[in-house]
Amino acid sequence: MIGSQHKSVRSQNKFVRSQHKSVRSQHKSVRSQHKSVRSQHKSVRSQHKSVRSQHKSVRSQYKSVAIAFIIYRPDGQKFLTSVELEKVAQQECQRAEQLAAYLRSIGVDPDNLP
């Protein structure tokens, strides 16, 4: 009887050890997966931080662009912006070229006017 009980206990020990070995293997796998997930989480957090920083930068750029100052002269007319001044200068240059072309067509040299 004692021999059969001993055999049964040894068999149970063998079974428990194999289950323990399986559980340890699963635990090792879960730890590895956990480590991978933590690494991915860290990467996502870093990317999120970068996107937030870019968003703040864009917001501040938008704010600085969205605010426009209009300055008026004492007579009530507004001062022109640099873009508007450039457009006026181009128009004046075109008018000067047209006038020079007309003067040449009637025989007057626009570069040698009295």
Average pLDDT over residues 93-114: 89
More confident call, 2 vs 15: 15
Query: CA–CA separation, 94 vs 109, rounded Å?
Result: 18
Query: Any alpha helices (H) in 67-81, and if so which ranges?
Result: none
Residue 24 Cα to chain centre, angstroms:
44
Q: Which helix (H) or strand (E) holds 49?
A: helix 2-66
Query: CA–CA separation, 17 vs 112, rounded Å?
Result: 111
Residue 47's pLDDT is 83
89 — pLDDT class (breaks 50, 70, 90): very high
Average pLDDT over residues 84-109: 92
Asked whether the beta carbons of 73 and 79 are under 8 A apart, the reply is: yes
For residue 81, how many other CB atoms are within 10 A of its CB? 13
Q: What is the pLDDT of residues 39-74, one digit of tens each?
A: 888 888 888 888 887 777 777 666 555 566 788 888
Q: What percent of the chain has pLDDT over 90?
A: 18
- Find residue 78's DSSP bridge partners: 72
Residue 75's pLDDT is 92
Residue 60's pLDDT is 66
Query: CA–CA separation, 44 vs 40, rounded Å?
Result: 6
- Residue 5, C-beta contacts closer than 8 angstroms, at least 6 positions apart: none
Residue 87's pLDDT is 94
Average pLDDT over residues 33-43: 82
Q: What is the mean pLDDT of the chain?
A: 83
